[in-house]
């Protein structure tokens, strides 16, 4: 409750710590998550109850959703897919002359068309 109150009051250190923990969660940096938690030993014990294998601290999922339905992993996959699609579209745009308004032969340029 005290940490939530610090966040509500706008304490910069509380926000920085919270943001660091959120980034560690999203990037599946388990050791950082444990160390940034309010009680690192208990956090690691809870983790180990559900995913006891040492490799679980390297896993890109947790026990809540599992590997097939991990919202963090799915979000990262969507971001990667969008990034690759944007790179393709950017190259296509550059190859076509990098014009926002491409005038087809025989058509009126929309930038200079008269308003009726």
Give the model confidence (pLDDT) of 36-65 as tens digits: 998 999 999 988 888 777 777 777 777 677
Of 71, 75, 72, 61, residue with least CA distance to 30: 61
pLDDT at 16: 93
Give residues with Cβ within 8 angstroms of 24, minimum separation 6. Answer: 32, 33, 36
Give the model confidence (pLDDT) of 7-40 as tens digits: 899 999 989 999 999 899 888 898 999 999 989 9
């Amino acid at each position: 409750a005290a940490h939530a109150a610090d966040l509500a009051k706008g304490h910069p250190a509380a926000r920085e710590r919270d943001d660091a923990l959120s980034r560690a969660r999203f990037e599946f940096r388990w050791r950082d998550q444990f160390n940034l938690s309010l009680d690192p030993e208990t956090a690691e014990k809870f983790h180990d109850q559900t995913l006891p294998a040492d490799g679980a601290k390297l896993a890109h999922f947790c026990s809540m959703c599992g590997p097939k339905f991990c919202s963090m992993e799915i979000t990262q996959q969507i971001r990667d897919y969008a990034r690759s699609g944007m790179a393709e579209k950017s190259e296509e745009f550059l190859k076509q002359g990098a014009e926002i308004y491409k005038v087809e032969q025989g058509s009126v340029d929309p930038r200079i068309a008269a308003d009726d």
